[in-house]
Amino acid sequence: MKPRYWDDAARALAAGDRVLARLIARHPDVHLARRGEPFTVLARAIVGQQISVKAAQSIWERFASATGARGEPVALDPGRVGRTRMATLRRVGLSERKAAYLRDLARHFTSGRLDPRQWPALDDESLIARLTDVKGIGRWTAEMFLIFHELRPDVLPVDDIGLQKAVAEHYHDGERLAPTALREFGARWAPYRSVATWYLWRSLDPIPVEY
């Protein structure tokens, strides 16, 4: 489903920014869409860190099978992941560090330290703080989760290489801004900085990425 704020955001951004107006007109029928449930999405983000898409998919499929995941899209059980032996996690191709990260993520869910029912009441920074309490989840991963899963409208991931590249290409003659300067520059897109970021990503890759 299209986020309920999407059309208002697109109109507001197009009215105030010539670059975004052009990008929005170029992609009229695509938008953010939530896929999967929280634990599985975060687990998949951990599995995919610092390896190729092909390798991540292969390991993910073995990991999901080893932990008894069911359904389509796949849904993992945090309790079962947390009980899976380290040796089993290593056999599916996970590094020792990623296996430990996944077990820590599972503990956060089973203990209630990460409880999706509480998240609507949290502002963006509060939710990012809770997510980054998990080993292996840094700020960038948390921001991607807020954009793609929680559909938060006003996240600006200034450490994202794609956003840095797109802003440089469209606004600064190819010169990339430092994260602090990019945050200041992106303030013009509030309260729809996630949407602006998403359209700027489309200028680099017209096919939306799913998380």
Is residue 101 within 8 Å of residue 71, measured between CB atoms?
A: no
Is residue 171 within 8 Å of residue 185, measured between CB atoms?
A: yes
Work out the average pLDDT over 29-54.
89
Q: Using pLDDT thresholds of 50, 70 and 90, give the confidence band for residue 208.
A: low
Work out the average pLDDT over 32-55.
90
Q: Using pLDDT thresholds of 50, 70 and 90, give the confidence band for residue 3.
A: very high
Round to whole Å and give the CA distance between 74 and 69: 6
**Amino acid (one-letter) located at 7:** D
Average pLDDT, the chain: 93
**Amino acid (one-letter) located at 105:** L
Indicate if the pLDDT at residue 211 is higher than 60: no
Domain spanning 6-33+154-204, CATH class: mainly alpha
Q: Where are the domains of the chain?
A: 6-33+154-204, 38-148
**Span 64-105, pLDDT tens digits:** 999 988 767 788 999 999 999 999 999 999 999 999 999 999
- Residue at token pair 């954009």: 147
**Annotation: CATH topology of 38-148:** Endonuclease III; domain 1 (1.10.340)
C-beta neighbour count of 17 within 10 angstroms: 18
Indicate the pTM of the whole model. Answer: 0.90
Q: Using pLDDT thresholds of 50, 70 and 90, give the confidence band for residue 36.
A: confident
What pLDDT, on the 0 to 100 scale, is given for residue 35?
Answer: 78
Indicate if the pLDDT at residue 7 is higher than 70: yes
Is residue 13 within 8 Å of residue 179, measured between CB atoms?
A: no
Round to whole Å and give the CA distance between 130 and 137: 10
> What does the DSSP assignment read for the chain?
---TTHHHHHHHHHHH-HHHHHHHHH-TT------S-HHHHHHHHHHTTTS-HHHHHHHHHHHHHHTT-BTTTTB--HHHHHHS-HHHHHHTT--HHHHHHHHHHHHHHHHTSS-GGGGGGS-HHHHHHHHTTSTT--HHHHHHHHHHTS--TT---TT-HHHHHHHHHHHSTTPPPPHHHHHHHHGGGTT-HHHHHHHHHHHH-SSPP--
Work out the average pLDDT over 137-158.
96
What pLDDT, on the 0 to 100 scale, is given for residue 53?
Answer: 80
Most confident option among 29-38, 39-48, 121-130: 121-130
